[in-house]
Chain A
Amino acid sequence: MSPIVSRGFRGRRDGAPNDRVPPGQYVTRDFPVLSAGPTPHRPLELWDFSIVGEVDEPRRWTWEEFRALPSEEVTVDIHCVTKWSKLDTVWQGVSVDTLLDGVETAAEYVVPFSDGGYTTNLPLEDVTGGKAWVAFAYDGEPLEPEHGGPARMLVPHLYFWKSAKWVRGLRLSAIDEPGFWEVNGYHNYGDPWQEQRYWGD
């Protein structure tokens, strides 16, 4: 049965040039807060970020050490699988290339892991070559806890569930390890331009 159209209902959306909006998406000026669980509140003195797994030597940075790494400001469009897209979002973050600089690995996959137990999975080549950051500021301000602060993944070329909030590290892996949403119905890769939202898409 086709849904009934409700006269005059528009919803909260903006217009946008088609070539910037993936299929099935609507542009919003808000920044919806979506979360799989309660917001963690980890004090910075207890925060660290690690690279573990299939690496010659695991790495670890405290918050001070992490913030001393070279970072960059990036302006990107982000696309949530729940159909909202937000254009020209401005972040400050450390490139994953910087974090993996000099790391020796035969791994082809990476699992970002977060406070609260959330994980997601990506091919290593999708977080390298300038495609991904660990972001600690949004719109010129420190990243708020409800949006993933102190730091979250930022992988704008894939649906935003891949940009794990409250990220604490990357586990490099020889095999692909589907994460929280990937085992529960969402697509393993998640390219918004091919509308890869769900299993079987």
Chain B
Amino acid sequence: MDALMLDGNAVAGILQEVFAVEMTTAIGTCNRCGGTDRVGALHVFRGAGIVMRCPHCDNALVTIVEDGTRVWIGFAGVRTLQVTV
């Protein structure tokens, strides 16, 4: 457990700016362990950018880097994302 760790809900703002829909209730599948979780329940770390990790196996699912105008979102660890539109 890391005292600095947050929940996926903490990045709801930036995700909604990019995707224009509520993303914290989207369900992601980890491509390493197959775990499925709401984005809001992922473990959020703030490094140089934001990393959202699988709460079961710590796999990096999503990375977010922003410069104020551009946002780079990496989904390297997500096999599938289920979004309600």
Contacts and interface: CB of A to CB of B under 8 A. Distances in A.
| Max chain B C-beta neighbours (<10 A), residue from A33, A39, A181, A184 | A184
Interface stretch (B9-17, B22-30, B34-42, B66-74): B66-74
A52 B58 CA distance: 26
B5 interface: yes
A183 interface: yes
A34 B70 CA distance: 21
A147 B53 CA distance: 20
A38 B44 CA distance: 10
B46 A35 contact: yes
Nearest to B68: A3
User: Per DSSP, are chain A's interface residues mostly helix, strand or loop, or mixed?
Assistant: loop
B58 A37 contact: yes
Taking residues whose C-beta sits less than 8 angstroms from the other chain, chain B's interface range is 20 to 34
B60 A37 contact: yes
Contacts of A34: 46-48
A64 B12 CA distance: 46
B10 to A, nearest CB: 14
A184 B74 contact: yes
Given A185-B63, A186-B65, A198-B65, A161 B70 contact: no
Contacts of A186: 48-49, 65
A82 interface: yes
A19 to B, nearest CB: 25
Interface of B: 1-2, 4-5, 43, 45-49, 51, 53, 58, 60, 63, 65, 67, 70, 72, 74, 76
